[in-house]
Amino acid sequence: FLAAAVILGIIMRFQGIPFNDIMKTATAGMKGVLPAILVLAFAFSLNQLSKDLGTAQYIISVTESWLTPNLLPFLVFLMCAVISFATGT
């Protein structure tokens, strides 16, 4: 990605676009992409943390006595409803 951005900057310069306009375009693009990059970085970190702590095995051990296949769709729906209400979507 970085190589493509540098090459595109060089091409834009050869087309006669001023360097200041190239830099304005680059910073505007970075501002637009930064939230998505942060979300992906946090998701990766949360995934790795969950693996390191053994969260899946803990949840299995806690719920194996009462969680049945018939109850799972209701619980998934309930969790999704709470999450969407909490996030406002």
pLDDT at residue 1 in the model: 81
Tell me which amino acid residue 34 is: L
Confirm if 26 and 5 have CB atoms less than 8 A apart: yes
pTM reported for the whole predicted model: 0.58
Residue 25 CB neighbours (<10 A): 14
Q: What is the pLDDT of residue 2?
A: 85
What whole-number distance in Å separates Cα of residue 71 and Cα of residue 78? Answer: 11
Looking at residue 5, its pLDDT comes to 87
* pLDDT attached to residue 88: 85
pLDDT band with cut points at 50, 70 and 90 for residue 89: low
